[in-house]
Chains A and B, each alone.
Chain A
């Protein structure tokens, strides 16, 4: 029997397992996917970006997505659409494939209701903890993961204990000079985006070699601060961690009303059934899959799913998004010198704008957004495929296609922004399971109803316009912007809200089930609101906070269960 079994080895699971193994607890880390190591990764666009190789085959494992279409909810299984909600199912989870643009949430984000007031139709609640309580863990993540960056003072920058980042910022493409000047001309303060990427060698991890293909790919140098590199590899060295890969947890089985006894799992290659016994369980399967696991673990004590006495399980699903825009920077927009420098592959843009995190409207303060700037993804096939239509929607081929591809590959680069504003929690964005549809393990699949609050779209449009103005100032051409209620499937949170009131939340402030003391949920599902930043720094920080609590209380909890 293990002291602790952690289910899911991604950002949250890896961080929890690291801290507990380091504290001497016998920890099992259970992962449905295979263990791909640093040397296994390559920049193979077909395998990583065009087929389901590091994610399950959608005909075997899928989700059902419910979207509003012409006023009607339409359900579509993802194998019919190709819109996969798997994000990286290998040891280390999607953190292997992330771009590592890291942001802390702002103190306001923990007090959204108190600070900005209610919004009709949105289920906004304040967090039971404050920024100050999470700050030491944000700080620890910087150290453990190795976050690189350059601190610049900004009135909306979340307070930090240390000004200096543990690693200097990663190298930047010279286009940042133009970006910075353009921002200043518009009275904006460009900030250097902190990255979960080592700029210099540290321990067994090499610094970034600017491979030009970062997001969506595994890292071959160890520079990317994935859960596997930053937490799982070091945790294995303690001798207290058992990594159980290729093992899918189907359900958690309770031994009494107040205790989970074992995880019912299956070897995903051989189909052999496995029972994993532990004194304490931490679920970290990524928000939507953690919720699904809890629903699928319903039993006679908990007919509506584990940890669901409040009836809140699966509700208030949120995403980290808002909108995006892209434009071309080319010979016409840039001097020859700047154009040549920009075309060098590999180096980053690493810029974000925080100036719009708080907005004013009619004398009233509004919660705004963060905007992140980057080059568009460098994938060759994708870039070509995105360029294959003429303006009037005709497919291009032959000479016409050649001309467009020459422009795309040799005469221009896409500059892109992504707007991150709150995805307000609503009744129409939630996770349930579909008992009529089962995956290859015979388990009901997760059903995600996805929709956003009209306020989010209004705000995103407002901020996207401001971001567009920066691109125009840079001289970028062919600007396209998109603001829609289609969520990004890789930045997902909510569904197991934490809170102090057991009738209104799934988890308590320690991310422990209100109903079952030896059950914790450590991924982003705890978040009642998501802030206006991508989540992963917060996921890492909170997972360490949860693990710290488990470490302190382990004897007490395990004695009681």
Chain B
């Protein structure tokens, strides 16, 4: 591919450019600042209670996206989506605005559910997520959680996901060589 054009960054989500969305969400979500929009979150802060419960919501959604018992794809626990996600969010290269949106969305989704998302039946959780998707913010949030989960599934295992290359193996994918020796080129 020569031109790093529309598909690369202007990826259209349900007819809206992501470019529009992010700005809009940052502007409207009053509580985003509390989650560290545009500032670096340290690993330590991710341990705090507020983030832990948000992370739990995200992990539950990832388990719903990649449930047990699929024909070829591993489930979220098998490829360790949770570890990947937590460590990716802690790294300074992760976009702080998207991180803030992820935490804010988790809070909103939890509020909508009223009880622990992981304890809902599959059917109820499915209904909840589809309802959340009807809202533009909800739809954007779900797409960001999915992006992270796909990263966990298909990135080099050096990042903590794709355990034993289960993600690659499930689709017969051959990684490019050489493989990375350090995360983020050692940065």
A residues adjacent to B (C-beta < 8 A): 36, 40-47, 50-54, 57-59, 76, 79-84, 87, 98-99, 101, 211-213, 215-217, 220, 320-321, 324, 345, 372, 374, 376-378, 380-381, 384-386, 388-389, 393-395, 397-399, 401-402, 405-406, 409-410, 416, 418, 482, 484, 486-491, 534
Contacts and interface: CB of A to CB of B under 8 A. Distances in A.
Given A45-B156, A98-B2, 8 more contacts: A42-B178, A43-B175, A99-B1, A393-B14, A398-B64, A416-B1, A418-B3, A488-B4
A386 B11 contact: yes
B153 interface: yes
A487 B5 contact: yes
Given A50-B151, A101-B2, A402-B71, A397 B178 contact: no
B19 A372 contact: no
B105 interface: no
Interface of B: 1-7, 9-11, 13-15, 18-19, 22-23, 26, 38, 64-67, 70-73, 91-98, 130, 133, 139, 142-143, 146-147, 150-151, 153-156, 158-159, 168, 171-181, 183-185, 187
Contacts of B92: 57
Give the one of A43, A46, A211, A410 with max B CB within 10 A.
A46
Give the one of B93, B156, B176 with max A CB within 10 A.
B176
A53 B93 contact: yes
A217 B38 CA distance: 28
A488 B94 CA distance: 23
Contacts of A394: 130, 133
B15 to A, nearest CB: 7
Nearest to A87: B4
Give the one of B2, B11, B174, B181 with max A CB within 10 A.
B2
B65 A406 contact: no
Nearest to A50: B151
A82 B95 contact: yes
A507 B26 CA distance: 42
22 contacts: A43-B176, A44-B179, A47-B183, A47-B184, A57-B93, A59-B96, A76-B19, A76-B23, A82-B22, A82-B98, A215-B2, A376-B1, A380-B154, A381-B151, A393-B15, A395-B146, A398-B65, A401-B65, A418-B1, A418-B3, A484-B6, A491-B2
A82 B1 contact: no
A402 B155 contact: no
Contact of B147 (A220, A385, A389, A534): A385
B178 A43 contact: yes
A82 B73 contact: no
B3 A380 contact: no
B154 A381 contact: yes
B70 A399 contact: yes
A398 B129 CA distance: 13
Contacts of A81: 9, 18-19, 22-23
Contacts of B13: 389
B53 to A, nearest CB: 22
B11 to A, nearest CB: 7
Contacts, number: 185
Contacts of A399: 70-71
A46 B3 contact: no
Given A321-B3, A398-B66, A405-B73, A84 B9 contact: yes
Contact of B146 (A45, A80, A397, A482): A397
Contacts of A490: 2-4
Give the one of A41, A488, A491 with max B CB within 10 A.
A488
Contacts of B4: 87, 216, 488-490
A296 B143 CA distance: 40
Nearest to B62: A397
B187 A212 contact: no
Contacts of A50: 151
Given A52-B93, A76-B19, A80-B97, A43 B2 contact: no
Nearest to B181: A42
B176 A82 contact: no
A228 to B, nearest CB: 15
Contacts of A489: 4
A324 B93 contact: no
Contact of A212 (B11, B22, B174): B174
Nearest to A90: B185
Nearest to B159: A46
B185 A53 contact: yes
A221 B98 CA distance: 36
B106 to A, nearest CB: 16
A53 B184 contact: yes
What 6 pairs across the A-B complex have the smallest Cβ distances?
A: A43-B176, A488-B3, A213-B176, A44-B180, A409-B171, A51-B93
B67 A398 contact: yes
B5 A44 contact: no
A449 to B, nearest CB: 16
A402 B73 contact: yes
B66 A397 contact: yes
